[in-house]
Structure 1
Amino acid sequence: MSNVSSVYVGVRRVHRGALITLSMIGLVLGAIGLVWPQATLFTVAILFGIYLIASGIFRIAAAFMQDELTAGMRWLSGVLGAVVVAAGVFCILDPVASLTVLAFVIGIGWIAEGVIDIVSGVRRVVTPRWFAFVSGIISIVAGFVMFVLPTFALAAFLMVASLLLIVVSISTLLTLPRRRASADTYLL
C-alpha cells in the first residue's frame, strides 16, 4: 500500500465514528427531503432568512467597529447591512417568496456561469472547446428554468439533492475501513 493510501485509510479509521454519525445524519436528512419536500423547502427558506439577518447584523457591526474603513465605506456597510436584515425578515415572514428569490439568485448564477463557459470556449481557454459550449448552454438553460418555473425547479433540485445525499451516505458507510481488533478498539 502506498503512503498516500495508508494515510487515507488511517484518517478514515481514526474518524470512523464521525463518518458513521455524519452518514446517519445524511441518510435521515435525505429521507426527510424525499418524504416532506414542502416542509424541507420551508425550513430552507427560514434558515436562509436567519442567515441573512445574522449577516446583516455583522455588516452593521462592522460599520461601527472597523477602524480602517472610510466614512463612506462605513455608511455603505451599514446601509447594506440594514437592507440584508430587512431581506432576512422578509424571508422569514414570507418563506414562499424567499424561495422564489433564492431560485432567481441561483438562476442568475447559472446563467452567468454559462456565459463564462461559452466565452471560455470562444477564447480557447477550455479544451475541448465543445465541452465549454455544451456546459455553457446547459447552465444557461438551467438558469432560465429557474426563472420560468422557480418552485418546480427548487423542488426538483431538492429531490435530486436528497437522493444524492442518501447515495453518498450509503457509499461512505460501505467504504469505511474495518476496525482493528487490537489497539484501535477505542475507535468506533
Structure 2
Amino acid sequence: MTTPTPGLLPGIPLGMLRIHRGELIAVSIIGVILGLVGLFLPGVTLLTVAIIFGSYLIVSGIFRITAAFVSHGLTTGLRWLTGIMGLIVIVAGIICLADPFGSLVVLAFVIGIGWIAEGITDVIGGLRGSVRPRWFGIVSGVISILAGIVTFVLPALAVVTFVTIASVLLIVVSLSTLFTLPRRNAAATSV
C-alpha cells in the first residue's frame, strides 16, 4: 500500500506524484520547444499544421466511406450520403495537401467571417440593450468586425499572427507549469 502525501496533494500516493511530476516536466519542456519553433519559424509551423489538417481530412473521409459500407441499420440514401461526404472530405484533404498555404488562407477567411458575424451580433445586442453595459457590446462588436475585415484584407498576416500569439501563450503556460510544480524535496520529506 502506498503512503498518501499529507499536506502536498491529499489522496495522491507519492509514486503517482513523481510520475505526474515527470509527465508535467516533459510536457512543459515540449511545450516550450514547440512554442519557440512557432515563434521563430512560423512558416514551418503553418506548413506542418496544414499538412496535419489535410492528412486528418483524408483519414476522416476514408472512415466515412468505410462506414457507408459496413454500418448496419443505414438506409440506402444515408449510405450514399455518407459515402459521398467521405469522398468530398478526401478531395478537400488532397487539396489541402496540394496547396497547404492556400488552405490556411481559406481558414483565415472562415475565421474572418465568424468574427464579422459575431461583431454584428454584438453591435445589435448593444444597440438593443441586451448587453450590459450597452457601450461594451457596441465596442466589442466594432473590434470584432474590424478584426474580421483585417483578416480578409491580410489573411496570411492573420494566420502568422495566430501562430505567434498561440506560440507565446504555449511558452507562458509551459513555463508557468514548470515554475509551479511541487519541489522534489517537498515531496520526499512529506512521506
Is TM-score (shorter-chain normalized) higher than 0.5?
A: yes
Q: Which of 107, 132, 146 lines up with 2:137 in the alignment?
A: 132
Tell me which residue corresponds to 2:103: 98
The alignment status of 1:181 with 2:182, answered yes or no, reads: no
Letter in 2 for 1:26: G
| Alpha-carbon shift at residue 169 of structure 1 (Å) | 0.9
Tell me which residue corresponds to 2:37: 32
- Alpha carbons 1:103, 1:147 under 8 Å: kept: yes
Rate the CA distance shift 1:43–1:126 in 2: closer, same or farther, 3 A. Answer: same
- Structure 1 or 2, whichever has the larger Rg, is 2
Q: Which of 47, 65, 68 lines up with 1:63 in the alignment?
A: 68
Which whole-Å CA distance do the structure 2 matches of 1:55 and 1:140 have between them? 33
Range that drifts further, 159-168 or 63-72: 63-72
Other structure's SS at 2:181 match: coil
Tell me which residue corresponds to 1:109: 114
The share of aligned pairs that are identical, in percent, is 58
4+ residue segments displaced more than 6 Å: none
TM-score by length of 1: 0.81
Unaligned runs of 5+ in 2: 1-6
Which whole-Å CA distance do the structure 1 matches of 2:125 and 2:97 have between them? 39
Which whole-Å CA distance do the structure 1 matches of 2:38 and 2:147 have between them? 21
TM-score by length of 2: 0.80
Other structure's SS at 1:181 match: helix
Which whole-Å CA distance do the structure 2 matches of 1:45 and 1:148 have between them? 21
Letter in 2 for 1:156: T
Tell me which residue corresponds to 2:153: 148
Q: Once the two structures are superposed, what CA deviation does each residue of 1:8-65 show, in whole Å capped at 9, x if it has no partner? A: 9969x83222211111011000110112111111111111101111121222222223
Question: What is the aligned residue count?
Answer: 179
The alignment status of 1:167 with 2:167, answered yes or no, reads: no
